[in-house]
Structure 1
């Protein structure tokens, strides 16, 4: 009797493992963060997602290379204004970029001043839901991008 229940339990475990494996193989793969057209708001904004961007991205940071110059200048303005970056290098880069023709009057600049980073393909990342450490890191990346645009 003990032998047949052991065999039955082992058989059940084998069938269960096969079923879980088969189910896992039929699940679609998760899209990358950059391929999701809209997350929680208009224009692809990620600001309304529960858990904030820190929970969504973990330690991964979005690329700032696709952001237009006006948006980079606007986000840099947001970063300087909120003390996420400081110093003469930040204010010099901000003055130089925002002084370019059409930059400060662009909608991308205005959006950036509100802490909205355009990450490309129509997607926008709100910095308001981030932890301060992530905001500071992202602002540092934006400052480096601003400096390289000069």
Structure 2
């Protein structure tokens, strides 16, 4: 309970509305249920988020570069959605967002792993 309150406080202090992402349970297990829903409507943002993860060494180039490139091939140009993802803002098809810069490094790594798994299903 204390961790959840601390994460909620961090979100509020950093300007992320608590309603944007449900952080319940993201400290345990391998999956992060607080991640927004990802489908083909947010392919550009997912590709940008993979680039963010690569640039910040949360994913290896071997694991993610090919997936990111295949996603980009499906997206005409690198629009605002890609740029937001590249800055660490993951926006889901459900309208929820997760600003990766506001969570701990450990959670960012888990989130990047989850985004990569989701991205593979989009190619």
In the superposition, the TM-score normalised over structure 2's length comes to 0.69
Query: Root-mean-square deviation (CA), in Å?
Result: 2.8
How far the C-alpha of 1:120 sits from its partner, in A, is 3.8
Partner of 1:88: 62
1:116 lines up with 2:89 in the alignment = yes
- With over 3 angstroms needed to count, the CA separation of the structure-2 counterparts of 1:121 and 1:47, relative to structure 1, is farther
Q: Which residue of 1 aligns with 2:108?
A: 135
Between the aligned partners of 1:111 and 1:47, the Cα distance in structure 2 is 17
Give per-residue Cα distances to partners, 1:75-106, cap 9 Å, x unaligned.
0010011000114121111111122241x422
Q: What is aligned with 1:14?
A: none
Of structures 1 and 2, the one with the larger relative CO (CA 8 A, separation 6+) is 2
Q: Which consecutive residues of structure 1, in runs of 5 or more, have no partner in the other structure? A: 1-38, 41-45, 51-55
Q: CA 1:101 to 1:116, structure 2 compared with 1: closer, same or farther past 3 Å?
A: closer
Which stretches in structure 2 are left out of the alignment for 5+ residues? 1-10, 27-31
Change (3 A) 1:47 1:92: farther
* 1:57 pairs with 2:30: no
Residue 122 (structure 2) aligns with: 149
